[in-house]
Amino acid sequence: MNKAIGGTTNVPDDTHECRKHWMNLDSVAAGWLLCLSVCASTAASAEVSTLAGRDFDCLMEARVTVKLGAAVTGLVKKVLVDRGDIVKEGQVVAEMESDVQSAIVAIARIRATNNFQMLGLQKRAEFLNRKVDRLQSLRKTEATSQVSVDEAQTEAFIAEHGAKEAQLSWKQAQSELERDEAALNLRIIKSPIDGVVTERLMYSGEYRHDSNALMTIAQIDRLNVEAFLPVSFYRQIKVGAVAEVRPDEPIGGVYKATVAVIDSVLDAASGTFRVRLTLPNADYQLPAGIRCKLRFQ
């Protein structure tokens, strides 16, 4: 039982201990609330993290790589370029053996330009038609027989159709010339792109089979910059966005590239998606096949 002395109440020791215990519990609860607040703030910050200012690994590749072959098999007559040479679209880079095909084209050209038979038959048909007209005039006065008129008309008919047949033969010869010239052109190998020869695979005198390539040409006037980004940034990147590309040493430097392709299919296993950027390289200053860092602005 508590006793009051001089207006003062004496509190037992166990009551003080109870108050200390609750005060400790309040401190612990406040600490937990603070921790939860910090975690929630961190999570919210992660959710609103932006793409800008982050570095991603990337790879600079040739825009197009062509394993250049030929439409025909046979002996390689000559290869006109070597590894490291810069070539232009349409430039002749190799030739296949073509002596037989050249002779065939020469014969076809003679036939295609020879229209003498056709002209001769056309003139004969014109002459016979005039003869028919004269005989028909004479027949009106009975100065000639009907048999002579019929014979002249038949000869004119045969001559006209002979001239038409000769004309068709001449046109056929011209078409055959075009065919033979096209077959000859198949043995002249031209570069399909502007680029640099990265590999020479065949030499003069070697026999090319269906599966053999003559050389490899890489188009590097524009480079593809390939990168894999986390899925969390998928909505933040758009086609046409500009990014900085920093090639690894010893190349170095900072270059501007533009987003060209964003994959529509994501990789669920790695949680990433693929992005391709286009990097201008008109002066061939930058090589392909080098690693780099990518940073979006």
Q: Are 167 and 116 in contact (CB under 8 A)?
A: no
What would the pLDDT profile of 253-287 be if each residue is shown by its tens digit? 999 999 999 999 999 999 999 999 999 999 999 99
252 pLDDT more than 50: yes
pLDDT confidence tier of residue 37, bands split at 50, 70 and 90: very low
C-alpha dihedral (230, 294, 283, 259), degrees to nearest 10: 40
Lowest mean pLDDT, pick from 42-51, 76-85, 100-109: 42-51
What would the pLDDT profile of 62-81 be if each residue is shown by its tens digit? 999 999 999 999 999 999 99
Strands 8-9 and 4-5, sheet pairing: antiparallel
Polymer length of the chain? 297
Q: Measure CA 77 to chain center.
A: 29
Torsion angles phi and psi, residue 294, rounded to 5: -120, 130
126 pLDDT more than 90: no
- Apex 91 CA angle, 90 and 97, nearest 5: 105
Q: Where are the domains of the chain?
A: 55-63+221-296, 98-186
**Amino acid 102: pLDDT:** 93
Nearest to 84 by CA among 203, 247, 217: 217
Pairwise CA distance, residues 78 & 73, whole Å = 14
* Coil, helix or strand at residue 90: coil
CATH 3.30.70.270 fits 55-63+221-296, yes or no: no
21 pLDDT more than 70: no
Q: Measure CA 292 to chain center.
A: 23
26 pLDDT more than 70: no
Lowest mean pLDDT, pick from 114-123, 139-148, 152-161, 175-184: 139-148
Beta strands in the chain (DSSP E): 4-5, 8-9, 55-68, 74-79, 86-87, 92-96, 188-190, 195-200, 207-208, 215-230, 242-247, 255-262, 272-280, 290-296
179 or 25: whose pLDDT is higher? 179
DSSP letter at 280 equals E
Q: Are 184 and 105 in contact (CB under 8 A)?
A: yes
Nearest to 107 by CA among 181, 169, 166: 181
Sort 197 into a burial class: Cβ within 10 Å, 0-12 / 13-18 / 19+: buried
Nearest to 54 by CA among 196, 251, 236, 178: 236
pLDDT confidence tier of residue 29, bands split at 50, 70 and 90: very low
Q: Are 86 and 195 in contact (CB under 8 A)?
A: yes
Summary mean pLDDT of the chain: 85
Torsion angles phi and psi, residue 196, rounded to 5: -125, 140
